[in-house]
Amino acid sequence: MKDFIQISADNIIKESKTQISRYCDKQYIIYIDPNNSHYKIRINTYYLKGTTVSLCIHYDRGLCNTIEEYNHLPIEYIESQAYGSWMDGAR
C-alpha cells in the first residue's frame, strides 16, 4: 500500500465524473490535503472510498491552494486535470 495515502472522507470537496466528451467519463474526487504546503486542493482519479479514502499517489494532481481559488476554477480546467491525472497514473 506504499502507493496509497489515506484521507478522511470529510476532506472530500466534490466527487464527480467528467462531462466533457474528450475527457472520457473519468470518475474523480477533489479533496483537501492539509499536509501539502503548496497545492492543498487536489484531484484524484483512482481512489477507494469508505470512512477513510485511499488515494493512489500516481493518479493525483494539485489544483490550487485555497477553497477561494478552487471556486474560481473553470470546469474545463478541472476536467482536463482529472483526465491528466488519470493519464499520469495509466503510464
Total domain count for the chain? 1
pLDDT of residue 1: 62
Mean pLDDT of 60-83: 97
Mind listing the pLDDT tens digit for each residue in 13-22?
999 999 999 9
pLDDT of residue 78: 98
Domain of residue 54 covers 4-90
Could you give the angle at the alpha carbon of 87 between the alpha carbons of 84 and 89, nearest 5°? 115
Mind listing the pLDDT tens digit for each residue in 20-64?
999 999 999 999 998 888 899 999 999 999 889 999 999 999 999
pTM to 2 decimal places: 0.92
